[in-house]
Amino acid sequence: MKTEPAHQHPALKPLHFDTVVNVSDFVKRYKKEVAVNGVDLEIRKGEIYGLIGPDGAGKSSLMKAIAGVLTYDGGAVEVFGTRVDSERAAERIKPKIGFLPQGLGLNLYPELSIEENIDFFAHLRLVPDKDVGERKARLLAMTRLDRFRDRPMKNLSGGMKQKLGLICTLIHEPELAILDEPTTGVDPVSRRDFWSILAELLEENGMTALVSTAYMDEAERFHRLSFLSGGKVLVSGTPTEVRALVPGSIVTFEATPQLEAIDRLKASFRQVESLGPLLHVFVDSIDRSEATSQIEAALGDLTHSSFRVDEPELEDVFVALLLLKTDQKEAFSSVSASAVGHDRDGFAIEAQGLIRDFGSFRAVDRVSFQVKQGEIFGLLGANGAGKTTVIKMLNGILLPTGGTGLVAGAEMRTASGTIKQRIGYMSQAFSLYLDLTVEENIRLFAGIYGLDKRSMINRYQWIVTMAGLSGYESSLTSRLPMGVRQRLALGCALVHSPRVLFLDEPTSGVDPIGRRHFWDILSRLAREEGVAMLVTTHYMSEAEHCDNLALMYAGRIVAEGSPADMKRHIEQEAGLLFEVITDQPSQALVRLQQAGFHGAALFGTRLHVFCRDPLRDKACACQALEDSGVRVISVNERPLSLEDVFVYRVMALERIEMSAKQEAAA
């Protein structure tokens, strides 16, 4: 499967006695472009190995070569002891492999039902008839798709498609599952379902998995991982080993005025983020009091409060490593004021009782919320919750069945043209003309919005400064790095100085530094210029940047408030979150669930558990584990994430819905 003579690389020696995949000095080129350059990788039996990195890092090329479906240009790939260097060799390993390509449902047949898709793949993989029924029933139950057996694949939500794709990939019980970004575009509940299913199958069948992801928070779920950047491995190891490479602390606090605090902090620290009203700073010291003292010294006479010191997350570590590699600071120049600042009084968006029916199906059910000028508002929800339908109604693209809405002072039913002049919209696809240069794209959008020559010159200069595009003006958009292209798209959406900005999954596929730069720009646009923003995102860590959030479920808003308020309410209902480390994590998960800890979830080799009464529940959990022969290594409180909030809320609603259906059936 490679283009150079096989004899140039001697037989690879396993690095470990139970090595399943061994990759040495791997190179893949597409014409003159080097996509992967000199990667070494070793995957052992029974582990979940992760490939982390943004779009274009080389993850998919490497995975396809390991799966035997892509040729390569240098190095060696060995799978189950077979050198994968020809089509014949690739065919020998394929019966032992399950490969799920990137993209929702791309390996499925839209017109076939869930059950028909599974039966087709079982037949294709020569699964004995006597085994198909049992495996199918078990996998459908695990994925909670058993109630939808007859539903056509084309009518499934993104999360359901991905779970069906997983079933079809695993129906023949492969020894190695290769899953390329299986959770991209999938809501947090389906993501957590996916990880539970994978952990259970690995435990029961001794399967090995290679999984790629662009979600930095998923790095904690892997036994071992490699972080790829620009086609090379930046770092490899267990999450604990990777974290140890960059010792430090994360200090979270409030400071006013926030923008001045950010500017002062960036003079001393490489990683400074604003998360709504909070600031999030990486400090090199692991001593908590020393870390706090360094922050206070940098802030000087500014008012500050609510200090919290935590261990860095893996995303903080990856960003630190990227900054060290490129020898750059994460501090970016402030957004230069455009002299168009918007009035902060009143609401930029008012939705009141919005309803949208498609035939007998109600996609949006009496949705109401308000967004102030200068506020960043997040609209969160599972696939199919109704978020996109709400945005289309507010933009004047879709007429509501009922309810009213005001956007930038214009009534959405009757003033769609006025609304379009007062809003900016940045879609997930970026909506740019790839065969035009940066300057040509900006000037084109300025012309579309009717800017005169002087206004066009002023806005062009402002966008280049604001988005950090200096030096790229004559570059073709198709050749821009993903993060730069995304900032250009933001600039084009702002060319006409809109009062309201709609952002739909704005940072998909962008590396962590690019995402943080992007959010730095958004925060300053909101604070300095008063631009109101409505954001949808599947990155729960990004939702922390929002001032307020609305969580949608089945077309309705079921929770609303600031990130801090939402977390506080969950802690009042479910208790504090603890991380449990044991010597047998999979068995520990089963035992904790049997002991009544129904919200327990597995994160790689660690478990997360809610405790309403910390002293009593910790003792109960430890006793239950030790009685079953599981050794408890540590139990520590950890901060609640918005993913925890999202999953808790949605699963509680699903339980209520299920109980109501069961009562009705009885």
Which residue matches tokens 């930038």? 408
pLDDT, mean of residues 591-598:
87
- State how far the Cα of 376 lies from the Cα of 382, in Å rounded to an integer: 20
> Are residues 477 and 433 in contact, defined by beta-carbon separation less than 8 angstroms?
yes
- For the segment 449-453, the average pLDDT, to the nearest whole number, is 91
Written as one string, the DSSP assignment of 563-618 is: HHHHHHHHHHHH-EEEEEEES-HHHHHHHHHHTT-TT-EEETTEEEEEESSHHHHH
Per-residue pLDDT at 6: 40
Task: Determine the pLDDT at residue 179.
Answer: 94
Residue 557's pLDDT is 92
Among the listed ranges 117-131, 161-175, 229-243, 505-519, which one has the minimum average pLDDT value? 505-519
Percentage of the chain surpassing pLDDT 70?
A: 92
Alpha carbon distance 130, 155 (integer Å): 30
Residue burial 363-373, b: 16+ Cβ < 10 Å; e: rest: bbbebebbbbb
Average pLDDT, the chain: 87
pLDDT tens-digit profile of 544-577?
899 999 988 889 998 899 999 999 999 999 899 9
CA distances from 501 to 9, 393, 542 (A): 54, 15, 16
Among 52-61, 80-89, 220-229, which stretch is predicted with the lowest mean pLDDT?
52-61
Name the pLDDT band for 342 (thresholds 50, 70, 90).
low
Question: Which residue in 253, 262, 426, 427 sits closest to 333, CA to CA?
Answer: 262
CA dihedral 264, 267, 271, 272 (to 10 degrees): 10
Domain 6-236 class, CATH top level: alpha beta
The confidence band for 528, taking pLDDT boundaries of 50, 70 and 90, is confident
β-pairing, 376-381 vs 548-553, is parallel
Position 566 scores a pLDDT of 93
pLDDT value of residue 383: 67
The per-residue pLDDT for 7 is 38
Report which listed range, 10-19, 65-74, 600-609, is most confident. Answer: 65-74
Query: Which residues on adjacent β-strands are paired with residue 532?
Result: 500
CA 228 to each of CA 233, 251, 322, 660: distance values in angstroms, whole numbers, following the listed order: 5, 27, 10, 47
Tell me the domain boundaries of the chain: 6-236, 247-311, 347-561, 564-665
Domain 564-665, second-level architecture? 2-Layer Sandwich (3.30)
Question: Considering only CA atoms, which of 252, 257, 300 is closest in space to residue 278?
Answer: 252
**Of residues 115 and 144, which shows the higher confidence score?**
115
Helices (H) and strands (E) counted in the chain, each on its own, are 21, 28
Query: Could you read off the pLDDT of 135-148 as tens digits, one per residue?
Result: 999 888 878 888 89
Q: Do 247-311 and 564-665 fold alike per CATH?
A: yes
Give the confidence band of 188 by pLDDT, cuts at 50, 70, 90: confident
**H helix or E strand, kind and range, residue 249:** strand 249-256
Cβ–Cβ under 8 Å, residues 43 and 225: no
Q: What is the arithmetic mean of pLDDT over 254-277?
A: 92
Residue ranges with strand state E in 515-575? 532-536, 548-553, 556-561
Sheet harboring 19-30: ordered strands across? 33-44, 19-30, 74-79, 82-83
Give residue-wise pLDDT tens across range 389-436.
898 899 888 899 999 999 988 887 777 677 778 888 887 655 788 899
Q: For residue 334, is pLDDT > 50?
A: no
Residue 329: the pLDDT is 46
Would you say domain 247-311 falls under CATH 1.10.357?
Answer: no
Which tens digit of pLDDT belongs to each residue from 274-332? 988 899 999 999 999 999 999 999 999 999 998 999 989 898 998 898 888 765 544 44
Question: What one-character DSSP code corresponds to residue 628?
Answer: T
The domain 347-561 is placed in CATH, from the list 3.30.413.10, 3.40.710.10, 3.40.50.300, 1.10.3720.10, at: 3.40.50.300
Provide the percentage of residues in the chain whose pLDDT is more than 90.
53
More confident of the two residues 479 and 272? 272
Greater confidence (76 vs 648) lies with: 76
Q: What is the pLDDT of residue 1?
A: 58
pLDDT at 267: 93
Tell me the β-bridge partners of 94: none
Least confident range of 375-379, 471-475, 516-520: 516-520
Q: What is the mean pLDDT of residues 493-498?
A: 91
The confidence score (pLDDT) of residue 657 equals 80
